[in-house]
A and B are shown apart, each in its own frame.
Chain A
Amino acid sequence: MSSPVEALVNREYKYGFVTDIEQVTAAIGLSEDTVRFISAKKDEPTWLLEWRLKAYRRWLEMTEPHWANIHHAPIDYQASTYYAAPKTTAPLGSLDEVDPKLLETYEKLGIPLSEQKLLAGVAVDAIFDSVSVGTTFKATLAKSGVLFCSFGEAVREHPELVQKYLGSVVPASDNFFAALNAAVFSDGSFVYVPKGVKCPMELSTYFRINAANSGQFERTLIVADEGASVSYLEGCTAPKRNENQLHAAVVELIALDDASIKYSTVQNWYAGDENGLGGIYNFVTKRGKAMHRAKISWTQVETGSAITWKYPSVLLMGDDSVGEFYSVAVVNGMQQADTGTKMIHMGRNSRSTIVSKGISAGRGQNSYRGQVKILPKAAGSRNYTQCDSMLIGNRCGAHTFPYIDVQNASSDVEHEASTSKIGEDQIFYCKQRGLNTENAISVIVNGFCKEVFRELPMEFAVEAQKLLGVSLEGSVG
């Protein structure tokens, strides 16, 4: 494509700064000692240490998966540190005592942690490297019985809930990265919404990797008890560094009968530079279990990371359960994404919807990988899949890998796919109407992603649109 579009300059990744803060880290490398070190740091009960060790031993027997459409140099799991925490973390729960440097970091990221400044109606858990810095609006939430805290705190304060649900959706041995996470996970968020309660606020976790040479392995567990409902959002950023950093998270959602969980992600990890140097390897396992008449809805906007490997899935166990997956995945520069979902229908009359929008620019490679499986007993189930790809420029790629397996005759699966290209003509049309190239691309791409954006909570939809504009800057050529 020709000049005016090529002429666009790449804007800096504006979250690429480093917070200079004293930290406590585990020794480099991974062994049983590392697992024990992390568990001890967190004062964990024996059962949890045992659970971790079992996962670690399982992991040793597993091999890194290579079926995804991604390519990277071998990862040296002994080369990084598995625990990094600011030395000055205040005692739990007291945001007032948090190191001002950390508050400043979040302020700079656009996530002020003082309750007065926060978006009204959104409670935030801020995770910095391996620990939670603090959780806002805890008291307000407690009034309606909603538990929202860091994972570490949940283990201390609500061990019975954690023990009951931990690993119940994503077992420690589920896959290579899930096993690694189970062994070394440091912090994450925990949510429990009691029976019949509609969570009065949006909950959100903001993940920040700061330390060099470290990975982030957080674990999120959300339980919506019978008839409960909750909407949760996660955001992520990391400094610009020349080495690749591993982020291997696990998210488990449990929606009991008649419950509903809406989980939204705006992922903006550092993507590496235009030559593919540095960036986060985002290898994540996310899965939810929906019981009778329950609903789990995943919405993701994936713009960052050097490599994204994630398939937020729903086990539709209950009759009349509902699973949804709305995704926008953007690759630019040298980014690679292999993402999609699994909808496993077990309950009768269960329904699932998949809307995937892949945008490829630069030399990015974007793959949609989705499985829809309808078991014999899931009579009368339905799936609708819509999978659209958009190409910007000639050097990027879009790929689709749908796996469909329907095992009863009364169920119905519908799959639609399309690939389009942002043409110079579309951009020229917008420019002729007075929009500059940047705005033109952003308008066209946002239009393409509309069905997904309208699933995001209001406050974040606007953010996501802007983010998309920024991550596609300099994309055409």
Chain B
Amino acid sequence: MSLLQVVDLHATVGETEILKGISLTVNAGEVHAIMGPNGSGKSTLAQVLAGHPAYTVTSGTVTLDGADLLDLEPEERAHAGVFLAFQYPVEIPGVTNAYFLRMAYNEVRKARGLEELDPIDFYDLLEEKLKVVRWGPEVMERAVNFGFSGGEKKRNEILQMAVLEPRLAILDETDSGLDIDAMRIVADGVNQLRRPDHATILVTHYQRLLDYIVPDFVHVLADGRIVKSGGKELAHELEARGYEWLTGVPEAAVA
């Protein structure tokens, strides 16, 4: 059974249809890259999978380990192992990273019938996870993403992912806005967290990230549909040729 199965997914915002029939199968152990022009629906797909209430699924199915995902509340999807690293991570003033992470971690544990960790045990776990993003403990006392630089926010998303150990990680342009060193750190983090029972969907505009995290499949999304799928060489081809040959529209004309 595949880990994630998306079949003919349609989704709208208000009256506007944004996803126009997406089908995608992701098996455990795989890394899929999703590329495509601005406004083609990549973030929408990520948000719909995570259950953002702004989007309405009008038809199609999504299953995780064979079980319906669309029926679940966003937090239930998180408990089931769906993790979304946001393109624009949200700030939560006054709430420390340590507190937020422990709360999230324990909510997920509770939902899985596991015992919650007290602050001391959790701190030990955190120390390990901080190594993944090569951060010191100071960052844990800062408010969640508050006053973080764009790159730090992305790195914080990876830290959260490391702590929550999802089954399906969806990274929405986690590489955008990162300097070379930070991108290496993020990529190393993602690679460290790769496991045979775990899958990753990377939304990215840049081949560069895929040099570090080598995908098994690359999909091109245009105007709410997957217009082409291939292996890792497809990303190189896109880098060289752009999207026009796939979409039939000059790039600049896509909203």
Chain A residues close to B by CB (< 8 Å): 2-5, 423-426, 428-437, 439, 443-444, 446-451
Contact yes or no, A426 B50, CB < 8 A: no
Contact yes or no, A426 B107, CB < 8 A: no
Contacting residues, chain B, for A5 (C-beta < 8 A): 53
**A6 closest partner in B (C-beta):** B53
Contact yes or no, B95 A447, CB < 8 A: yes
**B86 closest partner in A (C-beta):** A429
Contact yes or no, A434 B104, CB < 8 A: yes
Given A434-B104, A435-B75, A439-B107, the answer on whether A429 and B94 have CB atoms closer than 8 Å is: no
**A435 closest partner in B (C-beta):** B107
A184 to B204, CA, bound (A): 72
Contact yes or no, A429 B78, CB < 8 A: no
If A428-B53, A428-B74, A450-B95 are given as contacts, then 10 extra A-B residue pairs at C-beta distance below 8 Å, sorted by A number, are: A3-B53, A4-B73, A5-B53, A424-B53, A430-B104, A431-B75, A431-B78, A432-B50, A433-B104, A434-B164
Contact yes or no, A433 B160, CB < 8 A: yes
Contacting residues, chain A, for B144 (C-beta < 8 A): 447
Contact yes or no, A447 B143, CB < 8 A: yes
B148 at interface by CB-CB < 8 Å: no
A433 to B74, CA, bound (A): 9
User: In the complex, which of the residues B77, B111, B144, B160 has the most CB atoms of chain A within 10 Å of its own CB atom?
Assistant: B144
CB pairs A–B below 8 angstroms (18 shown): A423-B90, A428-B52, A428-B74, A429-B89, A430-B104, A431-B73, A432-B74, A432-B77, A433-B107, A434-B75, A434-B78, A434-B79, A435-B104, A443-B100, A446-B94, A447-B143, A447-B144, A449-B94
As a 0/1 sequence over residues 79 to 97 of chain B, the CB contacts with chain A under 8 angstroms (1 = contact) are 1000110100110111100
B54 at interface by CB-CB < 8 Å: yes
Chain B residues close to A by CB (< 8 Å): 50-54, 73-75, 77-79, 83-84, 86, 89-90, 92-95, 100, 103-105, 107-108, 111, 143-144, 160, 164
Contact yes or no, B90 A2, CB < 8 A: no
Contact yes or no, B52 A426, CB < 8 A: no
Contacting residues, chain A, for B50 (C-beta < 8 A): 428, 432
User: In the complex, which of the residues B93, B94, B100 has the most CB atoms of chain A within 10 Å of its own CB atom?
Assistant: B94
Given A2-B53, A2-B54, A443-B95, the answer on whether A429 and B107 have CB atoms closer than 8 Å is: no
User: In the complex, which of the residues B74, B93, B100, B164 has the most CB atoms of chain A within 10 Å of its own CB atom?
Assistant: B74
Contacting residues, chain A, for B73 (C-beta < 8 A): 4, 431, 436
Contact yes or no, A450 B53, CB < 8 A: no
Minimum CB–CB distance for A17 against chain B, Å:
31
User: In the complex, which of the residues B50, B77, B104, B164 has the most CB atoms of chain A within 10 Å of its own CB atom?
Assistant: B104
Contacting residues, chain A, for B78 (C-beta < 8 A): 431-434
**B83 closest partner in A (C-beta):** A432
**A423 closest partner in B (C-beta):** B90
Minimum CB–CB distance for A420 against chain B, Å:
8
A447 to B94, CA, bound (A): 4
**A447 closest partner in B (C-beta):** B94
A423 to B92, CA, bound (A): 11
Contacting residues, chain B, for A451 (C-beta < 8 A): 94
A437 to B111, CA, bound (A): 15
A447 to B54, CA, bound (A): 25
A450 to B144, CA, bound (A): 14
**B99 closest partner in A (C-beta):** A443
Residue among A428, A432, A433, A449 making CB contact with B100, cutoff 8 Å: A433
